[in-house]
Structures are given as structure tokens and as C-alpha cells.
Structure 1
Amino acid sequence: MTLRFAAIGLDHRHIYHMVGELLAAGAVCAGYCPETSDPRVLEGFRERFPDLTPRPREALFDDPDIQIVLCAAIPVDRPAIAIRAMQAGKDVMLDKPGATALDQVAALEQVAAETGRLLSICFSERFVVRACETASRLVAEGAIGRVIQTTGLGPHRLNRAIRPEWFFRPQAFGGILTDIASHQIDQFLHFTGAETARIAAAATANRALPDLPDFRDYGDILLDSGEARGFIRVDWFTPDGLPTWGDGRLFLTGTEGTIELRKYLDPAGRPGADHLFLCDRHGMRHLDCSAEPLRYFTRFLADVRDRTDTAMPRGHALRVTRLAIEAQSLADGGPR
């Protein structure tokens, strides 16, 4: 069975890899809604996928031959699109964050339960990073024993001049912890095997943008699952001299070894991305993970066909989202 999907919400460039990887996994794009808050995203989409057909949003929702909706809309708008899609009988893949407030998370949980539809979030810093795929395989094989601590670093380049106006409104994107740190929360739960965790501490700050007093360019979180701890740092301070948008790193401490990921570059000079450093009782070695297959997208399609949960445990996406919003609320000093 060939699955058909639609792209609705072309406001963030993550829609490019969401569409591209589903096409590579064998699905067919039945059309996209050209509505956008950022014409540059739409232009880039058309350049990458010139053969895809623009269609009215409601026509895509109402098309019974479409099984999946992909969405990278403005974050505050994603829950309504996901709910409309699930109520129309479609499974959903969202860009992160899946929501910006706890009442939206509750609504998504309710509709997913009522409709039985799959609601997944494409956490690209895990699912589109081959080094993370290798790390997942190694941890599952017991290469470093039980993971008891993670440190996830997610620096990003601000690129202020090309950001849309909603990017600087916390009400629109949820804040730095809701947005970026959802990646690292996902990785903490995944690699430690924890179903959920407690936010032990969270903080944010505006260090370099005094003309944007509501914006936060730095954040950190301390997580505790009872069996493992996690530290997260995210920021908008990637310097212009770095040859990529951010030096994303992940450190896994296990009972029998450690893993370090340099996801996007190796400062020691090895070319390319997807570098993994494994240290165990046998010694230390570097693994080039550039040939590791990305499994999330093929697994997601299999889950849509078979009504299984191989790409992501059911409920995981919204548990991550809830934790990210709770961390943002703690840092901001009030409920969201």
C-alpha cells in the first residue's frame, strides 16, 4: 500500500526534510497548502519540490485518499491543524514543538485518544541525525550499559535578519525551552528509557538582545527521572565563524561506558557531520556514522499501515511537549 500525505503549514524550513524523507521512504505527496507566514520558506519548498501540487487547505483535509498530514506551521497554530487532521481521519507528523501551552497538549491528547490516530513529532536533532541513529543502536545493544545521565547541548545561530516576526514572539513559538529544548528532552527520555521525568530546575535569560525584552536567547534545564539525570543547554549564540548552524552535542554516561556525539562537525578536523566517540572497557574509538540509515520515516509509514508504534512510543511526543512547556513555565515563573 502506497501512502499519500499532504503538507499543511509551510512556516518553518523543517518542512523540507519532513517532506523529503517521507518521499524517500516511498510515500507520495498528494499536495501542499501554499499558505505561509514566510514567503522564503514557500520559495525554498517550490525549489526543492517543483513537481508537487499546491491545493486549498480544506481540500487536503477532506481528501479521503490522504492518510497523513505533515505540519510545520507557526508553533502556536500546530495543535489546531493537527486536531483538524485527526478528526478528518489522518495521522499526523508535526514539527517541534507540537504545542505552546498545556491546554493545547490536553486537547491533542484527547483527540488522539478519541480518534485513534497517530500523532508524532519529527524531532530532527534525533531523527535526521545519523550519529543519533548509531547511538540508539549502540545503547540498545548494551554498548555502554544502562544510561544514567545525558548532557544535551543545542546552540543555534540567530540569523536575526532573515527570521520572520513571529520568531521573536514567545506567544507564537512557546519560548526557547518549549521550542529548542524539546529536542534534548526527547533524547533524554529515549536514551535513558524513561517514560517521563521531573523538571528539577529550569532557567532562561536575555543576554544580548535588550531591544527584545520578551525574547530569551539562553536556557537550561535539569531533568530527573529517578533512575537518571539530564542537563540541557540551548542558546542562540552560535558564532558566524562556525561552518554550520550549531555545534550540537550529546553526551551519554552509561554504567559501562560513554558516548559523545558531535552531530554537525568535528572541531578536530575530520570532514563532514555525524561523529560519534565511544569509550568502553576496550578503549576509545571514533565512529563515522554518515552511512547509518535514518529509520524514523520508514518506521512511521509502517506504523500508519500497521497501526503500530515502532517510530515513537504512543504518547511520547506529547509527554516531551508537556515537559518542555513545564520547564518554560518554571523558568518564566508562572503557568502556561
Structure 2
Amino acid sequence: MRFAAIGLDHRHIYHMVGGLLEAGAICAGFDPRTSDARVLDGFRERFPDLLPVDGERLIDDPTIDLIVCAAIPSERAALAVKAMRAGKDVMVDKPGVTSFAQLAEVEAAVKETGRIFSVCFSERFTVPATLVAGKLIADGAIGRVVQTIGLGPHRLNRAIRPSWFFDTAYFGGILTDIASHQIDQFLHFTGSRDAEIVASGVGHFGVPDLPDFEDFGEILLRSSQAGGYIRVDWFTADGLPTWGDGRLTILGTEGTIELRKYVDIAGRPGTDHLFLVDGKGTRHIDASGEPLTYFRNLVADIAKRTESAVAQDHVFTVCRLALEAQAKAARLPAGNQDSRL
């Protein structure tokens, strides 16, 4: 399988390209156009053997099967539609779309062309602990799942962010963007095909010179199977040795699973810590060695026209629910901005 990278605007392009290369795919080139030269520099450093090629040539190349894209979020849908109409499957970084109109356009293009539109929900697809959790749930380790609590804190790293990062018109809002990860995980781990956004909210509590930037968001959602709560934010302190203490708690009728994906604070070293509580006691599982499956399954799906990596309906449902949560979100009051009071 041959693929090309177009849209080097977010650093997530690194693990998207790296994952495909590890899965045995061949990169036919990358479009060097970017809104952030630092991302391009990092890409060249990680993949020095890959060649720059104009994006139009890559889309027109009949030997390329897949376009991988981490462009400015508001530009991903149009590029995906163009690639699909040129006979290419597409994998984009989250959020796959930033508006209902874009979602409708992508859905129409998939129906029209029969191509794959996949969103790389990296907080599940590139985290070994989530795969181990899925196996435990499938084996009945915690009974029936009745609730998830997904936490997605991030470090702002303001100095390295391009200007579009702070403009909702470009990234779609904090719930459209970050919370798509937690919506994906809620649907997956509860076995839900769809859900209702019961309530949602967004707020700005941080840096005073960015009053319109959403740095906090939350969602309460419910399906016919289970309920869920999501919290996302940009308040990870510099003292944490990684970009965010991402956690997922899965409540079952016979036990619980908690994932501490990227760090066990003041505890065990490394990533992918899984804590299981069941009728026999408590235990910690080091899930870091679990092989990832998304990229190799996507490569197989492109050849066989299957949906083993992620179902197309699931991708569209996550996108729609994230947009609905953003659209109905209440603006949370900032209160007193002086942290000394």
C-alpha cells in the first residue's frame, strides 16, 4: 500500500506516518506546505528519507492508495473530499471536521465514491492500554460496562502553537477538537452505536489576553447502553513530565478499570498503566507492550475494502456528537480571574 502525507500543520502527522510505515506501507512523498515551519522541520528530522512532492501531484498519482492529513482542522474535510474523488482513501487527524456542513460533505463523498474516511483517534488507537482494556472487557472481567469517565488534560505550550490554534474558526472549539477522543472511547467501550448529548459546557479560565480561547470543556452523554462524563482542558502544569495525565475510568457491574495512559503520577515509571479492580482484588497491569492494531488493520482494509480498523459509521457518529456537544455548550462563568483571591 502506498500513501502520501498532505497537511503538515500539526505534530500528530508524525505518529500517523510512523504508524503506517511500521505497518509496512510505503510513503510516496509529502507535501512540504505548512502553516508551522517547526512541524515541517520535525517531520524532516524524523523521516529524512521521505521526499517532498507537490500536493496536486500526490492526489493525481494513480499509484497512491491513501492520503494522510493533519492540516489546519477546518481545511481537512475539503482536502479529504478532493482526495476521495480522486480515488484515494483518507486518514485524517482529529477533528475530522469542524462544522455540520463539512460532515455532510464528507458523508456524501464517501457514499458517492465508496472510499474510506478514517479519523485517527490517537488516544485510543495509539495507546496500548486501551487495547488491553478492550480485551479484558470482552472477557467479562468487569461485567457489563455502565459508565465511562474520560479525562483529556493537555499542556498549552503556547510558545510553540501557531495562531490558528487559538481561533475557533480554524479548530472548531475544544469539544469538537479534543473531546472527540473521549466520545470515541465512550462509544467503543460501552458498545454504543449512538448517544445523546445531555449537557455540555465550555469556558475560559486561563491566560487573560486570549479571552475567546476555550481552555476547559465538559460533556455529559448517555446512550441506551450506558452513561459517560468527559472533561478536557489546557491546564496541565509544567511540572508533569508529559503533555497530559490522560485517564479513563470504566465502571462495570462487577469491577472497574482505570487507565493512566501517559504517566502514573508519583508512582511507577513509563506509560500505559492499567488498574483492575474485580471480585478477587486489585492489580496493576503494565500494558505498554501490547501491539497496536489500527494502522495495520487500516492497511488491510484498504486492500480488502473492510472495516477492521474502525467502522465508517462510528467515525461519522463521533464527529456528529462532538459537533452537537460544541453547538449546545453553555458558556461557563469565569468568575474571579485573580488566582490570589
Using structure 1 for the length normalisation, give the TM-score.
0.97
Alignment of 1:196-215 (within 5 A): 196-215=194-213
Deviation readout 1:57-76 (Å, 9 max, x if unpaired): 11000000000010000000
Deviation readout 1:175-206 (Å, 9 max, x if unpaired): 10000000000000000010110000000110
SS at match of 1:327: helix
Distance 1:149 1:268 in 2: 27
Q: How many residues align?
A: 331
Shift of 1:210: 2.5
Contact 2:276 2:284 in 1 (8 A): yes
Counterpart of 2:150 in structure 1 is 152
Deviation readout 1:159-190 (Å, 9 max, x if unpaired): 11110000000000001000000000000000
Counterpart of 2:118 in structure 1 is 120
1:261 matches 2:259:
yes
Shift of 1:140: 1.8
SS at match of 2:282: strand
Counterpart of 1:61 in structure 2 is 59
Counterpart of 2:234 in structure 1 is 236
What one-letter code is carried by the residue in structure 2 that aligns with 1:12?
H
Q: Percent identity?
A: 65
What one-letter code is carried by the residue in structure 2 that aligns with 1:317?
V
Counterpart of 2:217 in structure 1 is 219
What one-letter code is carried by the residue in structure 1 that aligns with 2:220?
L
Distance 2:278 2:303 in 1: 39
Counterpart of 1:14 in structure 2 is 12
SS at match of 1:13: coil
Deviation readout 1:32-78 (Å, 9 max, x if unpaired): 00010000000000000000010011100000000001000000000
1:178 matches 2:187:
no
Using structure 2 for the length normalisation, give the TM-score.
0.96
Distance 1:214 1:267 in 2: 31
SS at match of 1:315: helix
Counterpart of 2:138 in structure 1 is 140
1:94 matches 2:89:
no
SS at match of 2:189: helix
What one-letter code is carried by the residue in structure 2 that aligns with 1:85?
A
Distance 1:259 1:14 in 2: 27
Counterpart of 2:305 in structure 1 is 307
Counterpart of 2:335 in structure 1 is none
Distance 1:232 1:70 in 2: 28
SS at match of 2:87: coil
SS at match of 2:112: helix
Counterpart of 2:280 in structure 1 is 282
Shift of 1:209: 2.5
Distance 2:312 2:184 in 1: 13
Shift of 1:226: 2.3
Distance 1:332 1:171 in 2: 18
What one-letter code is carried by the residue in structure 2 that aligns with 1:288?
D
Counterpart of 2:71 in structure 1 is 73
5+ residue gaps, structure 2, are 332-341
1:49 matches 2:47:
yes
RMSD over aligned Cα atoms: 0.9
Distance 1:25 1:227 in 2: 34
SS at match of 2:312: coil
Distance 1:331 1:48 in 2: 39
Shift of 1:268: 4.2
Distance 1:164 1:141 in 2: 44
Q: 1:194 is matched with which residue: 183, 192, 195?
A: 192
5+ residue gaps, structure 1, are none
Distance 1:5 1:131 in 2: 28
Distance 1:98 1:256 in 2: 36
